[in-house]
Amino acid sequence: MRRLRQSVVSVALLLSASICPFAADPTRDSGIDPDGFDKSVRAQDDLFLHVNGRWLQRTEIPADKSNYGSFNKLIDEAQLNIRQIIEDVAKNPSDETSRKVGDFFNSYMNETVIEQLGLKPLQAEIARIEKLADKNEIVRHFGYCEAIGVGGPVGFFVDQDDRNSTQYLAGVIQSGTTLPDRDYYLKDDPKYAKARQALKSYIATMFRLSGKAGGEQAADAVLDLETKLAKVQWDRTKLRDAEARYNKVQVDKLKELTPQFPWLVFFESVGAAKLTELNVATPSYFEELQTIVAETSVDTWKQYLHFRLLDSSAPVLSKAFVEAHFELHSKELKGIPQQQPRWKRAVDTVAGGGSNRMGALGEAVGQLYVAKHFRPQARERMNQLVGNLLKAFEQSIHELTWMTDATKKQALVKLSKITPKIGYPEKWRDYSKLVVKADDLIGNMRRSAMLEHRRMLDKLGQPVDRGEWGMTPQTVNAYYNPGLNEIVFPAAILQPPFFDAEADDAVNYGGIGAVIGHEISHGFDDQGCKYDGDGNLKNWWTEADQAAFEKLTSRLVAQYEGYEALPNKKLNGRLTLGENIADLSGMAIAFKAYHLSLGGKDGPVLDGYTSSQRFFLGWGQIWRRKYRDAELLNRLVTDPHSPSHFRGNGPVTNLDAFYEAFNLKPGDKLYKPKAERIQIW
């Protein structure tokens, strides 16, 4: 994977150099798609609708999707490319790894074998649950579920120690519910009540399909148990708090927190019997969980575990299970009317990028994808863009009026240590220990889950792998990792409308430039700012600067909580704060970087728009997206990102450059008096 020392040096060199401009060629494509514009809506009143209104009017969300837009279009293209790659290696594998890719895909596509096998591949797991006789055995099974990828009330993970970024630390966190969020269990909203009824029906169906009696009673019992878990879980806003989530304890001290919970039994079954310390991310949850475990009968826990097994396995079982799973998880909870074609689900499972983020063989497919679809020039151009954005961020820190020099100095140190990863890892994951059979889909899934669980456990006691990636190259996304202080841009996002090597750079800066700025800004959002340049949870702020920062961010919370996404459903400004900071600051930095790249000259006028106007139009067009109402409701309580309409409009109301580009005046709907505009970074 990426050589850390070399990457840090390259960033340092770019920071010390002047901004390097790309040639402003007036013959280049503008990068704007005016065909989607609705010019009956002024940019000054609604940038998102101005840029995307006609596209929204004429675009239907595909029947197999909960939402559709710029991201989805690229995901669809990537899936087609990946399908071709996988089908090619399935026919003509060049080595053992490519054979595994083909065999895994074929095991998913072979519906005849899957129907013939029915529930047979799960019988051993079902029998294991039936034999559970007491609470210790129940807790032991919680750990086993983590190891085989089923999951239960105790989520187990290994990650960097937030206060010692050179070491790995095991952790436990709340888990174990089926519906998207605790609100679905606890609130009286008719839509949530409908989801609860759908869950009950689904549980009963799972029991019936598995030939197990008492499905209706089990549905009541399991929903009641999951509701008890939801009541004691932290809400998502609290879960964002990095300091609240860090509670490192010695294993022998866990009895003080949870005297009734048999932790040693759990750790043994999860494969970490020798664990001496860990992070208890949600301590109050576990205090309550021990009581729930004690007060819930063994039979109810067995019903719950039976359901969890079937629910996690249903997408890869016979058709009746697949359809029942789709009815709840896709149709009811996301509003999707039609199941995805089987080949898409197979690609997602093997290659990742969707619900199975890394895929069973994600980096093996990624290596083939990069060789065929990623140009080295794109990496070079991105390195240049990243350098320009970092230089602009450095200048912006120097210019801040609300921050003192002492904190600025520390912010600059952190900025200088940000490491970019672009395109693909330098070292690929090893899948040599994964056994794949072309006629054993369930077995392949279990063995893959167990291999990745073992890969995670093997990190304990080892140096932190600073080259590891959390996304595959074929993923259309990007991220910032505070523990490694890195920004990561997979190959698949480096395409229009985000990045177009043939287009004028105003739109590139408004697209991928703002995305780069967004990820850099995450290092300085309300949670990222709690980490230092080495990835440690460590305060580097003066009290006065912290207070000034919180005053600014509280204004941003208020702004976004004024937005209504559905009737009587407003945004959660606290949940979305980090992403809203990153959008606002990322845009501000990207605009600065673009104009620095011009070397004091004006950008060209193309398609009747100035370069500054095209920057903002480029920003608006990357958020082109439609949602189904059920999906939007889900996102309002689970997603830390604001819906696309508000990502398009929210930041620009605070940017003086937007006002200048489109000559905003009092009375325009996006207008704010200058004193009310929020500048953070």
Read off the pLDDT of residues 348-367 as tens digits, 9 standing for 90 and up.
999 997 656 899 999 999 99
pLDDT band of residue 378 (cuts 50, 70, 90) is confident
- Quick one: pLDDT band at residue 377, thresholds 50, 70, 90? confident
CB-based contact 20:597 (threshold 8 Å): yes
- Domain 119-316 superfamily per CATH: Neutral endopeptidase , domain2 (1.10.1380.10)
Contact 292, 325 (CB under 8 A): no
Say whether 473 sits in a helix, a strand or coil.
coil
Bridge partner list, 625: 69
What is the reported pLDDT for 346?
Answer: 97
Quote the CA–CA distance of 100 and 654 in Å, as a whole number: 51
Which percentage of the chain shows pLDDT scores above 90? 91
- How many Å apart are CA 472 and CA 494, to the nearest integer? 13
CB-based contact 307:207 (threshold 8 Å): yes
440 alpha-carbon distance from chain centroid: 30
Distance CA 49, CA 620 (A): 9
Q: What are phi and psi of 93, to 5 degrees?
A: -65, 135
pLDDT at 3 over 60: no
> Which tokens hold the place of 533?
């340049």
CATH class of the domain defined by 4-25+361-451+463-676: alpha beta
Q: Does residue 5 carry a pLDDT above 70? A: no
What is the SS3 assignment for 164?
A: strand
- Report CA dihedral (365, 367, 373, 377) to the nearest 10 degrees: 160
Average pLDDT over every residue of 623-646: 97
Question: Does the pLDDT at position 44 exceed 70?
Answer: yes
Contact 523, 485 (CB under 8 A): yes
pLDDT tens digit sequence for 552-577: 999 999 999 999 999 999 999 999 99
Element of type H or E holding 278: strand 277-280
Q: Give me the mean pLDDT over the 376-382 stretch.
A: 89
pLDDT at 29: 79
Per-residue pLDDT of 174-194, as tens digits, reads 999 999 999 999 999 999 999
Model pLDDT for residues 444-484, shown as the tens digit of each residue: 999 999 999 999 999 999 999 999 999 999 999 999 999 99
Q: How many CB atoms lie within 10 A of CB 394?
A: 17
- The continuous run of DSSP H or E covering 161 comes out as strand 154-161
Rounded CA separation 91/529 (Å): 50
d(CA 344, CA 367): 19
Apex CA 503: angle with CA 499 and CA 509, to 5°? 50
pLDDT tens for 214-237 read 999 999 999 999 999 999 999 999
SS3 666: strand
Kindly tell me if the per-residue pLDDT of 14 is higher than 90. Answer: no
Q: Counting Cβ atoms within 10 Å, is residue 490 exposed (0-12), middle (13-18) or buried (19+)?
A: buried
Beta carbons within 10 angstroms of residue 101's beta carbon: 26
Instruction: Provide the mean pLDDT of the chain.
Output: 94
Q: How crowded is residue 564: how many other Cβ atoms within 10 Å of its Cβ?
A: 11
Contact 62, 339 (CB under 8 A): no
- Check pLDDT > 90 for residue 503: no
- Cα distances (Å, whole numbers) of residue 675 to 547, 587, 662: 19, 19, 19
460: exposed, middle or buried (Cβ count in 10 Å: 0-12, 13-18, 19+): middle
Q: Which residues share a beta bridge with 164? A: 161
- pLDDT average, residue stretch 376-385: 90
Q: What is the residue extent of each domain of the chain? A: 4-25+361-451+463-676, 119-316
Report the C-alpha gap between 677 and 266 in whole angstroms: 52
Residue 15: the pLDDT is: 26
Residue 9's pLDDT is 26
**Dihedral sign for Cα atoms in the order 326, 328, 333, 337:** positive
DSSP bridge partners of 560: none
657, 359 Cβ separation under 8 angstroms: no
Strands 67-69 and 625-627: antiparallel
Q: Which two tokens stand for residue 169?
A: 């630390």
Q: What is the DSSP letter of 483?
A: T
Q: List Cβ neighbours of 428 (8 Å cut-off, separation of 6 or more).
A: 1, 363, 364, 366, 367
Asked if pLDDT for residue 625 goes beyond 50, the answer is yes
pLDDT at residue 333, rounded to an integer: 98
Note the helical H segments in 327-359.
Answer: 333-334, 342-351
pLDDT of residue 103 exceeding 50, the answer is yes
Helices (H), 166-209: 183-186, 190-209
- For residue 408, the tally of other CB atoms under 10 A from its CB is 15
